[in-house]
Protein backbone atom coordinates (compact mmCIF):
# COMPACT_ATOMS: atom_id res chain seq x y z
CA UNK A 1 0.00 0.00 0.00
CA UNK A 2 0.90 3.67 -0.23
CA UNK A 3 3.05 5.11 2.57
CA UNK A 4 2.40 8.78 1.84
CA UNK A 5 -0.43 10.75 3.48
CA UNK A 6 -1.47 13.64 1.27
CA UNK A 7 -3.83 16.42 2.30
CA UNK A 8 -6.20 17.92 1.63
CA UNK A 9 -7.97 15.34 -0.51
CA UNK A 10 -9.65 18.10 -2.51
CA UNK A 11 -9.96 21.84 -2.56
CA UNK A 12 -12.00 24.55 -4.22
CA UNK A 13 -10.03 27.73 -4.65
CA UNK A 14 -10.77 31.21 -5.87
CA UNK A 15 -8.82 32.44 -8.86
CA UNK A 16 -5.91 34.52 -7.61
CA UNK A 17 -5.65 32.74 -4.27
CA UNK A 18 -2.53 31.10 -2.90
CA UNK A 19 -3.01 27.45 -1.96
CA UNK A 20 -0.99 24.84 -0.16
CA UNK A 21 -0.99 21.06 0.07
CA UNK A 22 1.29 18.70 1.92
CA UNK A 23 2.46 15.17 2.19
CA UNK A 24 3.72 13.29 5.23
CA UNK A 25 5.17 9.89 5.87
CA UNK A 26 6.42 7.78 8.73
CA UNK A 27 9.41 6.82 6.58
CA UNK A 28 12.45 8.83 5.57
CA UNK A 29 12.96 9.51 1.87
CA UNK A 30 15.89 10.92 -0.09
CA UNK A 31 13.85 12.45 -2.89
CA UNK A 32 10.44 14.12 -2.93
CA UNK A 33 8.58 14.89 -6.13
CA UNK A 34 5.39 16.72 -7.04
CA UNK A 35 3.35 15.75 -10.12
CA UNK A 36 0.22 17.12 -11.78
CA UNK A 37 -2.21 14.89 -13.66
CA UNK A 38 -4.80 16.26 -16.05
CA UNK A 39 -7.86 14.18 -17.04
CA UNK A 40 -6.99 11.43 -19.49
CA UNK A 41 -3.26 12.01 -19.18
CA UNK A 42 -0.38 10.62 -17.21
CA UNK A 43 1.28 12.52 -14.35
CA UNK A 44 3.75 15.25 -15.30
CA UNK A 45 6.64 16.17 -13.03
CA UNK A 46 6.42 19.71 -11.61
CA UNK A 47 9.19 19.91 -9.04
CA UNK A 48 11.89 17.54 -7.78
CA UNK A 49 13.55 17.93 -4.36
CA UNK A 50 16.76 16.11 -3.55
CA UNK A 51 18.00 17.62 -0.28
CA UNK A 52 16.43 18.01 3.16
CA UNK A 53 15.39 21.63 3.70
CA UNK A 54 15.55 22.40 -0.01
CA UNK A 55 13.09 25.01 -1.27
CA UNK A 56 12.53 25.00 -5.04
CA UNK A 57 10.33 27.08 -7.31
CA UNK A 58 8.93 26.48 -10.77
CA UNK A 59 7.02 29.57 -11.87
CA UNK A 60 4.12 30.03 -9.46
CA UNK A 61 4.84 26.73 -7.77
CA UNK A 62 7.07 26.36 -4.73
CA UNK A 63 7.87 23.13 -2.95
CA UNK A 64 9.95 22.27 0.09
CA UNK A 65 11.65 19.08 1.23
CA UNK A 66 11.03 18.82 4.97
CA UNK A 67 14.04 18.93 7.28
CA UNK A 68 13.05 15.60 8.85
CA UNK A 69 12.93 14.05 5.33
CA UNK A 70 9.45 12.75 6.17
CA UNK A 71 7.36 15.48 4.60
CA UNK A 72 7.01 17.99 1.79
CA UNK A 73 4.63 20.76 0.83
CA UNK A 74 3.61 22.41 -2.43
CA UNK A 75 2.37 25.98 -2.74
CA UNK A 76 0.61 27.46 -5.76
CA UNK A 77 0.55 31.24 -5.82
CA UNK A 78 -2.03 33.40 -7.61
CA UNK A 79 -4.01 30.40 -8.88
CA UNK A 80 -5.47 30.49 -12.39
CA UNK A 81 -8.08 28.27 -14.10
CA UNK A 82 -5.46 26.03 -15.73
CA UNK A 83 -4.23 25.00 -12.27
CA UNK A 84 -7.20 22.62 -12.16
CA UNK A 85 -6.12 19.02 -11.89
CA UNK A 86 -4.89 16.41 -9.48
CA UNK A 87 -1.60 17.01 -7.71
CA UNK A 88 0.38 14.06 -6.42
CA UNK A 89 3.29 13.97 -4.06
CA UNK A 90 5.73 11.14 -4.60
CA UNK A 91 8.84 9.96 -2.84
CA UNK A 92 11.69 7.70 -3.77
CA UNK A 93 13.37 4.96 -1.78
CA UNK A 94 13.95 1.87 -3.94
CA UNK A 95 10.88 2.77 -5.99
CA UNK A 96 8.59 5.71 -6.62
CA UNK A 97 5.59 5.81 -4.24
CA UNK A 98 2.68 8.20 -4.72
CA UNK A 99 0.24 9.88 -2.39
CA UNK A 100 -3.50 9.63 -3.08
CA UNK A 101 -3.61 13.07 -4.68
CA UNK A 102 -5.19 16.47 -4.07
CA UNK A 103 -7.93 17.44 -6.52
CA UNK A 104 -7.88 21.17 -7.22
CA UNK A 105 -10.85 22.97 -8.69
CA UNK A 106 -10.68 26.71 -9.37
CA UNK A 107 -13.70 28.96 -9.09
CA UNK A 108 -13.46 31.66 -11.75
CA UNK B 1 10.57 14.44 -29.35
CA UNK B 2 7.74 11.91 -28.98
CA UNK B 3 6.65 11.03 -25.49
CA UNK B 4 5.69 7.65 -24.10
CA UNK B 5 3.09 6.07 -26.38
CA UNK B 6 0.44 3.68 -25.11
CA UNK B 7 -2.32 1.82 -26.85
CA UNK B 8 -5.14 1.32 -26.75
CA UNK B 9 -6.30 4.39 -24.83
CA UNK B 10 -9.51 2.68 -23.78
CA UNK B 11 -10.54 -0.94 -23.54
CA UNK B 12 -13.83 -2.50 -22.45
CA UNK B 13 -13.97 -6.25 -21.99
CA UNK B 14 -16.07 -8.82 -20.20
CA UNK B 15 -14.69 -10.58 -17.17
CA UNK B 16 -12.64 -13.70 -17.79
CA UNK B 17 -11.48 -12.36 -21.16
CA UNK B 18 -7.78 -11.65 -21.87
CA UNK B 19 -6.48 -8.15 -22.53
CA UNK B 20 -3.13 -6.69 -23.54
CA UNK B 21 -1.66 -3.21 -23.32
CA UNK B 22 1.24 -1.91 -25.36
CA UNK B 23 3.85 0.72 -24.49
CA UNK B 24 6.56 2.39 -26.55
CA UNK B 25 8.92 4.33 -24.29
CA UNK B 26 10.84 7.48 -25.12
CA UNK B 27 13.71 6.69 -27.45
CA UNK B 28 16.89 5.90 -25.54
CA UNK B 29 15.20 5.29 -22.20
CA UNK B 30 16.46 1.99 -20.84
CA UNK B 31 14.11 1.80 -17.87
CA UNK B 32 10.43 1.08 -18.37
CA UNK B 33 7.70 0.92 -15.73
CA UNK B 34 4.12 -0.30 -15.63
CA UNK B 35 1.84 1.27 -13.04
CA UNK B 36 -1.74 0.60 -11.96
CA UNK B 37 -3.87 3.60 -11.01
CA UNK B 38 -7.19 3.01 -9.32
CA UNK B 39 -9.79 5.77 -9.24
CA UNK B 40 -8.95 8.38 -6.63
CA UNK B 41 -5.51 6.95 -5.98
CA UNK B 42 -1.97 7.55 -7.07
CA UNK B 43 -0.16 5.17 -9.41
CA UNK B 44 1.27 1.97 -7.93
CA UNK B 45 4.23 0.19 -9.47
CA UNK B 46 3.56 -3.20 -11.04
CA UNK B 47 6.89 -3.94 -12.72
CA UNK B 48 10.14 -2.24 -13.66
CA UNK B 49 12.41 -3.20 -16.54
CA UNK B 50 16.05 -2.35 -17.06
CA UNK B 51 16.45 -3.00 -20.77
CA UNK B 52 14.85 -6.43 -21.29
CA UNK B 53 15.26 -7.58 -17.69
CA UNK B 54 12.43 -7.34 -15.15
CA UNK B 55 14.33 -6.08 -12.09
CA UNK B 56 11.32 -5.51 -9.83
CA UNK B 57 8.11 -7.47 -10.36
CA UNK B 58 7.29 -7.96 -6.68
CA UNK B 59 3.95 -6.12 -6.99
CA UNK B 60 2.80 -7.91 -10.15
CA UNK B 61 0.00 -10.44 -9.47
CA UNK B 62 1.63 -13.26 -11.32
CA UNK B 63 -1.36 -15.57 -11.33
CA UNK B 64 -3.07 -13.47 -13.98
CA UNK B 65 -0.68 -10.68 -14.99
CA UNK B 66 2.35 -11.02 -17.22
CA UNK B 67 4.65 -8.59 -18.96
CA UNK B 68 7.42 -8.73 -21.49
CA UNK B 69 9.99 -6.42 -23.05
CA UNK B 70 11.68 -8.81 -25.42
CA UNK B 71 14.02 -6.44 -27.28
CA UNK B 72 14.43 -3.91 -24.50
CA UNK B 73 12.26 -1.29 -26.19
CA UNK B 74 8.50 -1.85 -26.47
CA UNK B 75 6.64 -3.63 -23.72
CA UNK B 76 3.37 -5.49 -23.39
CA UNK B 77 1.35 -6.02 -20.22
CA UNK B 78 -1.23 -8.81 -20.29
CA UNK B 79 -4.06 -9.84 -18.00
CA UNK B 80 -5.58 -13.29 -18.42
CA UNK B 81 -8.25 -13.74 -17.30
CA UNK B 82 -9.45 -10.25 -16.38
CA UNK B 83 -11.55 -9.74 -13.24
CA UNK B 84 -13.95 -6.95 -12.33
CA UNK B 85 -11.43 -5.50 -9.89
CA UNK B 86 -8.89 -5.01 -12.66
CA UNK B 87 -10.83 -1.98 -13.93
CA UNK B 88 -8.31 0.86 -13.64
CA UNK B 89 -5.88 2.97 -15.62
CA UNK B 90 -2.65 1.24 -16.60
CA UNK B 91 0.20 3.70 -16.99
CA UNK B 92 3.54 3.15 -18.65
CA UNK B 93 6.57 5.32 -17.85
CA UNK B 94 10.19 5.41 -18.93
CA UNK B 95 13.35 7.00 -17.60
CA UNK B 96 17.02 7.47 -18.30
CA UNK B 97 19.86 7.71 -15.74
CA UNK B 98 21.13 10.83 -17.44
CA UNK B 99 18.01 12.76 -16.45
CA UNK B 100 18.06 12.02 -12.70
CA UNK B 101 15.91 9.02 -13.53
CA UNK B 102 12.92 11.33 -13.96
CA UNK B 103 10.00 9.19 -15.05
CA UNK B 104 7.98 10.34 -18.04
CA UNK B 105 4.49 8.91 -18.14
CA UNK B 106 2.30 7.93 -21.04
CA UNK B 107 -1.40 8.83 -21.18
CA UNK B 108 -2.46 5.42 -19.89
CA UNK B 109 -4.95 2.78 -20.94
CA UNK B 110 -8.30 2.93 -19.18
CA UNK B 111 -9.59 -0.62 -18.73
CA UNK B 112 -13.20 -1.38 -17.89
CA UNK B 113 -14.09 -4.96 -17.05
CA UNK B 114 -17.82 -5.73 -17.19
pLDDT in tens, B20-30: 999 999 999 99
**B86 phi/psi in degrees, rounded to 5:** -80, -5
pLDDT tens sequence for chain A (108 residues): 458 999 999 999 899 999 999 999 999 999 999 999 999 999 999 999 999 999 999 999 999 999 999 999 999 999 999 999 999 999 988 889 999 999 999 776
CA B107 to chain centre: 11
The answer, for A66 touching chain B at a CB cutoff of 8 Å, is no
The answer, for A48 touching chain B at a CB cutoff of 8 Å, is yes
Residues A46, B76, A96, B82, CA torsion sign? positive
Beta-carbon separation of A40 and B107 below 8 A: yes
What is the number of CB-based contacts under 8 A between chain A and chain B?
A: 50
Residue A96 DSSP symbol = E
Residue B107: its chain A contacts at CB < 8 A?
Answer: 40-42
Residue B44: its chain A contacts at CB < 8 A?
Answer: 2, 98
Residue A96: its chain B contacts at CB < 8 A?
Answer: 33, 45, 103
Amino acid sequence: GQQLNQSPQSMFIQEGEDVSMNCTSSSIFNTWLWYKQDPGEGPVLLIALYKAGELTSNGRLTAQFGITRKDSFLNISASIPSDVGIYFCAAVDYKLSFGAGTTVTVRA
Amino acid sequence: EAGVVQSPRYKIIEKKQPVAFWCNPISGHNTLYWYLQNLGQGPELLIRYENEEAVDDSQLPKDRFSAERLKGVDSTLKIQPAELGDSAVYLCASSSPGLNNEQFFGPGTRLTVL
